Amino acid sequence: MKFFAALVAILPAAALAAPSLVARQSAEHPFVMDSVACGCVNDKGEMDNHGDCIFQVGDTRQNVGDVSGLCYRKVPWSADMTTVFTTEFCANKWINGVKGATPVCKPVKLCDNYDGAWAPCNLGL
């Protein structure tokens, strides 16, 4: 009987949440959050952040404007990229056979791409 009472108690909350879920799913790739995409860039402007990014449960993409090649959060439990791509980390990174790079971070708007992950909103999901 206690289970039934608890179930009846949560039904109104579930009914109220349902319209917002439907609205979210009907919107095309809804905005999730403002974030920061970071990476290491060498003196020639070259980047190679993809492997380090995947290790942090992030992702990199090309052709996404200012954040092309930079690592952004892919899921809620991804690392804060400003704590990953630090001055010390980038100074010890090898890019195209040359050691040493500089950390670069830029703001990025992340949107839901419906496969359980996030991507830059300007990606044209």
Q: What is the mean pLDDT of residues 46-73?
A: 89
In this prediction, residue 21 has a pLDDT band, given cuts at 50, 70 and 90, of very low
d(CA 10, CA 30): 27
d(CA 66, CA 110): 14
Q: What string of DSSP letters covers 4-23? A: HHHHHHHHHHHHHHHHHHHH
d(CA 29, CA 114): 7
In this prediction, residue 85 has a pLDDT band, given cuts at 50, 70 and 90, of very high
Instruction: Say if CB 125 and CB 59 are below 8 A apart.
Output: no
More confidently predicted of 30 and 19: 30
Q: What's this model's pTM, rounded to 2 decimal places?
A: 0.72
Q: Is the dihedral of CA 117, 111, 122, 67 positive or negative?
A: negative
Q: Is 121 helix (H, G, I), strand (E, B) or coil?
A: helix
Phi-psi region of 69 (alpha: psi -120 to 50; beta: other; left: phi over 0): left
**Domain assignments of the chain as residue spans, ordered by start:** 29-123
Q: What is the mean pLDDT of residues 25-47?
A: 85
d(CA 26, CA 33): 18
Instruction: Say if CB 37 and CB 81 are below 8 A apart.
Output: yes
> Would the pLDDT of 67 be above 70?
yes
